Structure 1
């Protein structure tokens, strides 16, 4: 694997905490990837995420679309987002990497950071926008920015469209896998780790598709009910970090330890929180048939090999959580600032991609991840030849 184009480590002069930025590659001089904040974030983690972003962009390449795939990048800050010093640290980090945000790196919310917090910090750091680097690639910048602002203003049943698109993609990935296996949606059980932006939206779409959400884990523990949890009530009772107020639980709901979601009696597991949550020990507790990686890099390679050997299919993050690319479709004008268009385009794109990956995996006798990587790695040179790159 090639080395990234840029890899930097920043040390905050006030707290000594570290932040990272990795640019895996540029396409037409621009790259894309979110900014995460979590205690224990490392350069290796951010490097892997940046490489994954390059592959996600490649997997959604459509020669007929206005949207031009960008290069992959990622930012990370080693700090608990609940720490009182976290916001000031975020602003100082953005000031330090300001030249990259201005010239080549488009970013936004990721684990531990919401888009409104990122936007506020971006303004305080003296930047125009977290995606200003892509503006020169737009045919009509003012129209594109207006279209994106309108999309961010859309709410669906009390949740912003920007928070829902990624989860819509995760849910469609699961539904595609079920349909290929001939498994009905109604009554299929699912357990999730995380009820933040991605996990919460995924839970909503799966529940509305007929699946039964039997377990949800947050920082306080696992909430479970074999008969099914009230997803909408849990969503309404969560805070900005996805932690559920336990006063919203119903009499049949139980509280178990934080890792109990792993062994829940469910056909589908959705890790939608932290990276590296499923290792060799954790995988031994899993009885589910599918694991859909809504989080980035939640399943360690050793664990995935063991899961694959016993027939558990890991639907990889590089595919499953790539639905957030819908915002590029909106920005470039492939779809309008409309929830119906966003969901229809996301479902159509994700279903086609998951079907392609699973078909390739079956044909090659390999894992869905290896199949997805093979497809992406075939497309990256095609993108580079058409649009150029700077490596």
Structure 2
């Protein structure tokens, strides 16, 4: 069991709120990590396995992610211990929103993460009677349709292209392996194909599909639409592998875009890619990052690579009370500009400091957060 007080360090968390509701069985947690640069903003996830420690780690990632792309919101995250496929999902979600009515939206604005959909964001707004309570609502309610637009996956591919070029590894013709073909992975694959990369492996919870000569991404997207995660076992192309083996296939670029903690020390020794791009949050351990660095494999951190979602969320935050929808082409252009520039800055800083991109990138983000904390008198000037 996590001792919440043991999670506190020089950066946060500022507040941990654990809530429950007897009738629905709802249990959940909100972690507001650091609001020196603005109100807490981060996704809300629903899973039977949510823990306080997990949500706190993700809230910290959000602190660095907002600071890394130089947008003025604070790190926060929420989690609900429940099965997102349960028929009681809406009742649990409404109970969770009510329990946090003191914090939402004054201190924290809910968003989407694993297990929640655009309609769930609309339910939160409805329950609290406030359009500002959540972002990620359906487009017909004025929201930015993150998953439909594929903003996070698009940003992952844009950041990958910039980092690969910096390393002298043009993405055109490079072989890319993707772990995960959900909201992030499938959009990244589509953009990789547009940029001329060859996608040699993809995976879902049902297994992995590998074709050294390249998979037809459009055919994969159609198969996913028809069969869901099981498309990897039904597709006529490629060889089916057990889930997890896509991480160690022969490729130039590896993109873990599914779950956290998937690249262990042991896996890091077997990765064949020249560049690892963290499409998911926290997919590599610090020890694995060191091993990859020692092997000459660059790793583009999650708070840089998958920040397309937070850039889009910033537009959604601005539009919460507006009668106008955000301009979609502007969102995509801003994601491309910010993530490409940030990827190069972090890679250059890592080279200059002689350290890993994680440490270099976090150092830049920490500097911005520390400056904000000093200006507000939260730490000594």
Instruction: Describe how 1:1-391 pairs up with structure 2 within 5 A.
Output: 1-2=9-10, 3-14=12-23, 18-27=27-36, 30-61=39-70, 69-114=72-117, 116-123=118-125, 125-129=127-131, 131-132=132-133, 152=144, 160-161=148-149, 164-238=150-224, 243-246=229-232, 249-250=235-236, 252-327=237-312, 328-329=314-315, 331-332=317-318, 337-384=326-373, 388=376
- Tell me by how many angstroms 1:29 deviates: 6.1
User: Higher RCO, 1 or 2 (CA under 8 Å, sep at least 6)?
Assistant: 1
User: For the aligned residues, what is the CA RMSD?
Assistant: 3.1
- 2:227 and 2:269 mapped to 1: Cα distance? 29
Alignment check: 8 A CA contact 2:40 2:74 kept: yes
Aligned twin of 2:5: none
Alignment check: 8 A CA contact 1:274 1:298 kept: yes
Secondary structure in structure 2 of the residue aligned to 1:207: helix
Alignment check: 8 A CA contact 2:63 2:76 kept: yes
Aligned twin of 1:139: none
- Tell me by how many angstroms 1:245 deviates: 3.3
- 2:157 and 2:145 mapped to 1: Cα distance? 23
- Tell me by how many angstroms 1:237 deviates: 3.4
Alignment check: 8 A CA contact 2:211 2:238 kept: yes
Structure 1 residues 85 and 150, CA gap change in structure 2 (3 angstroms): closer
Equivalent pairs counted in the alignment come to 364
Is 277-286 or 234-243 further displaced after alignment?
234-243
Structure 1 residues 151 and 46, CA gap change in structure 2 (3 angstroms): closer
CA deviation string 1:294-322 (max 9, x = no partner): 11111112221211111121111111111
Alignment check: 8 A CA contact 1:234 1:248 kept: no
- Tell me by how many angstroms 1:219 deviates: 1.1
CA deviation string 1:248-282 (max 9, x = no partner): 623x3222111111111111111111111111122
- 2:240 and 2:363 mapped to 1: Cα distance? 42
Give 5+ residue unaligned stretches, structure 2. Answer: 1-8
Secondary structure in structure 2 of the residue aligned to 1:107: strand
CA deviation string 1:4-47 (max 9, x = no partner): 11112234425656322100122476211111123322211111
- Tell me by how many angstroms 1:383 deviates: 3.3
- 1:240 and 1:100 mapped to 2: Cα distance? 41
Structure 1 residues 113 and 132, CA gap change in structure 2 (3 angstroms): closer
Structure 1 residues 320 and 347, CA gap change in structure 2 (3 angstroms): same
- 2:34 and 2:28 mapped to 1: Cα distance? 19
Structure 1 residues 253 and 80, CA gap change in structure 2 (3 angstroms): farther
Secondary structure in structure 1 of the residue aligned to 2:371: helix
Q: If the length of structure 2 is used for normalisation, what is the TM-score? A: 0.85
- 1:299 and 1:84 mapped to 2: Cα distance? 34
Give 5+ residue unaligned stretches, structure 1. Answer: 62-67, 135-144
- Tell me by how many angstroms 1:206 deviates: 0.9
- 1:210 and 1:263 mapped to 2: Cα distance? 22
Structure 1 residues 147 and 389, CA gap change in structure 2 (3 angstroms): farther
